[in-house]
Amino acid sequence: MDCLQSIDNITPPLPDAGADFTAWKHTHDGAFTVKSAYNIISHNIHSNPCKVWKRIWKCDCPERIRYFLWKLSHDCIMTEVQRKKRGISTQDICKRCGLATESSTHAIRDCVWVKGIWEKLVRRDMWSSFFNLDIKSWVDLNTSKNWGYTNDGSWSSTFAYTTWLVWKQRNDFIFNNRNINASCLLNRICTEIHNYKEAAVMDRKVNALQNSKNRSHMSWQPPQEGWYKINCDGSYWYNSDDISCGGVIRNSRGEWITGFSKKLGKGSVFQVELWGALLGLRTAWELQLPRVVLETDSKLVHNFITSGCNISNPFLHMAKEFTELLSKAWEVDVKHVHRDNNLVAAIWLFLLIIIVMIVLRNNNGDLVLIAAMQITVAEALAIRRV
């Protein structure tokens, strides 16, 4: 079934399209870009994501601190040990205590000038683990477990802030000759965390207010009298590359004229968005609607329809069909809209995809699942008719 849908998704080659040529399948226009190659590689990497990385980026603290934490977990902050490795310095002894080499763990956790701070923040029953882990496990466990006295799940934030401020104080001592004072630093850590949380709450309130204002301008608007509006959208299943498209057509009073949908087998996000727009225009033309507004939430599709594409584009045949449709005896206005304005098409498409389970009863009368598949409403109605 998928095979047939994928074949149906391919339009026949155009006689005037010229000779075959090499095209890069990972961009919508067939041209190679370094960005697209990077995206493919990074997608493969992210399919097996590093959990430490994810946890660090979820830490409730400013981005510069998350970045510092990530560098720390990779043992690449510029301690005396790292400076000596790079030939910048001839000795790697800690300049604050002079008692040990300054590794990442020493600089941030074990130096006598900072150990007392951690002892005030970390629960006593966790000290043996806390002070004996290697740097990677140390960051990993402190961003995933609650080892502090706080019970509100904010330990990772306190931990991140403390590492960052300890490092800043160490740099102030070495480069600016500023005195080290553990109790001052502890107060500063508490103040900075408090200020950040207050600012974050305020930021969320401002954003919520801004979003509610924006959303009031982002509802669907009916077309002018005598016009019809097509809203189309596509769905793409990342696990299987299955694509489906659909949309709705309504008049100037917002009344439903018709809906359309199609399962397209395997394909890309861009391809399915194109098909949604094409099916919308085809349907409107078949209904002999005189004036039509086509709304899509894809900027790429909008540009493709209004500006066309070059000869190397793998969807050249679709561009030609768009041109043919737009040149017919009717008025068509193609618009790019925000995703929220196009919500009706997305909801319609979601409702159209139905999971059908074929079940039979066995000899004991129990239901047994024979098969499960996705179908559209049109297919469901066809099954009912049979």
Which residue number, 95 or 320, has a Cβ lying nearer to Zn ion?
95
Q: Per rule CB under 5 A, is residue 97 in the interface with Zn ion?
A: yes
DSSP H or E segment with residue 209: helix 182-216
Q: Per rule CB under 5 A, is residue 165 in the interface with Zn ion?
A: no
Kindly tell me which residue out of 56, 111, 165, 284 binds Zn ion, with binding defined by CB under 5 A. 111
Which residue number, 182 or 337, has a Cβ lying nearer to Zn ion?
182
- Which residues neighbour 354 within 8 Å (Cβ) at sequence distance 6 or greater? 374, 375, 376, 377, 380
Decide if 3 contacts 266 (C-beta within 8 A). Answer: no
Number of residues that bind Zn ion (CB under 5 A): 4
- E strands along 96-255, which residues? 228-236, 242-250
Q: How far is the CB of 268 from Zn ion (least distance, A)?
A: 55
Kindly tell me which residue out of 52, 59, 81, 94 binds Zn ion, with binding defined by CB under 5 A. 94
Which residue number, 90 or 212, has a Cβ lying nearer to Zn ion?
90
Q: How far is the CB of 170 from Zn ion (least distance, A)?
A: 9
- What is the residue whose two structure tokens read 């961009």? 27
Which residue number, 102 or 242, has a Cβ lying nearer to Zn ion?
102
Which residue number, 111 or 318, has a Cβ lying nearer to Zn ion?
111
CA 368 from chain centre, in angstroms, equals: 38
Which residue number, 106 or 229, has a Cβ lying nearer to Zn ion?
106
Q: 150: phi > 0 → left, psi -120 to 50 → alpha, else beta; which? A: beta
How far is residue 282 from each of residues 276, 331, 365, measured CA to CA in Å?
A: 10, 14, 48
Rounded to the nearest 5 degrees, what angle is found at the Cα of 246, between the Cα atoms of 244 and 250? 175
Q: How far is the CB of 163 from Zn ion (least distance, A)?
A: 15
Q: Per rule CB under 5 A, is residue 96 in the interface with Zn ion?
A: yes
Q: How far is the CB of 110 from Zn ion (least distance, A)?
A: 7
Q: How far is the CB of 80 from Zn ion (least distance, A)?
A: 9
Q: Which of 296, 321, 294, 293 is nearest to 308 (CA)?
A: 321
Q: Per rule CB under 5 A, is residue 93 in the interface with Zn ion?
A: no
Q: Per rule CB under 5 A, is residue 180 in the interface with Zn ion?
A: no
Q: Name the segment binding Zn ion (CB under 5 A); options: 109-117, 138-146, 211-219, 304-312.
A: 109-117
Q: Report the interhelical angle of 299-307 vs 316-326 (nearest 10°).
A: 70
Q: How far is the CB of 94 from Zn ion (least distance, A)?
A: 3
Which residue number, 106 or 262, has a Cβ lying nearer to Zn ion?
106
Which residue number, 55 or 106, has a Cβ lying nearer to Zn ion?
106
Positions 336 through 375 that interact with Zn ion (CB under 5 A): none
* Residue 172, amino acid: D
Q: How far is the CB of 134 from Zn ion (least distance, A)?
A: 18
Q: How far is the CB of 107 from Zn ion (least distance, A)?
A: 7
CA 150 from chain centre, in angstroms, equals: 31
- Which residues neighbour 180 within 8 Å (Cβ) at sequence distance 6 or greater? 96, 113, 169, 173
Site of interaction with Zn ion (CB under 5 A): 94, 96-97, 111
